[in-house]
Amino acid sequence: MSIRERIARRAEKELHDGYYVNLGIGIPTLVANYISPDKQVVLQSENGLLGIGPYPSPDRVDPDLINAGKETVTAITGAAYFSSADSFAMIRGGHIDLAILGGMEVSAAGDLANWTIPGKMVKGMGGAMDLVHGAKRIVVIMDHVNKAGQPKILNNCSLPLTGKQIVNRIITDRAVIDVTPEGLLLVEVAEGFTIEDIRGATEPPLLLSETLQMNAY
């Protein structure tokens, strides 16, 4: 199993029956492949689709059916199509229970940077700016460290922010960490890692949950 798949499979546990969920670009889109058939969950996309299914197999690719990241998707029975304006009305109106977003950096206070790197060309801000303030709960999923091996969970973000103090939970390939008023709380440690491994790869200090789970995923 790849690191991306490992993170996506763990993130699926954040989805609960009856939830309306928005999945961000990148690793979050993979979560759709792991949703349990026992859960009644509806996936929403900013470009106007309610009822996204898993990634299409090669024989089911429809170039006209895409998500907000311009990736081809499938639609479940009963899916609805509508304007982007209506889609953002859902988000801004507080009708999305959970948004799972990718991240470049997350701070100890729950600030999120995930939309641009200075000096690099980007297509635009995207819907994350609305999602971080409109969704009821924000979960960020990402690698624990960057390609240079440096922490992505920092005391303060160095990249332009998407939102301030909006992240509720961080899920990485190594750990699950909650953002609390008292500080970052280590909730789960992934298989193959120790508490000291996680602390060594995280810039802010970590509190330990009383129910901390080792080898959790």
Which amino acids are annotated catalytic? 46
Name the residue type at position 178: D
∠ at Cα 29 (25, 30), nearest 5°? 140
DSSP calls for 171-199: E-SSEEEEEETTEEEEEEE-TT--HHHHH
Give dist(CA 7, CA 129) in Å, integer. Answer: 23
Backbone φ and ψ for 206, nearest 5 degrees, come out as: -115, 135
Q: Which residues contact 102 (CB under 8 A, 6 or more apart)?
A: 24, 25, 26, 27, 28, 114, 140, 141, 142
Note whether 55 and 29 are within 8 A (CB). yes
Please, what is the end-to-end C-alpha distance for the chain in angstroms?
Answer: 12
Place of tokens 């499938």: 74
Tell me how crowded residue 104 is: count the other CB atoms within 10 A of its CB: 20
CA atoms within 13 A on the CB side of 48: 8
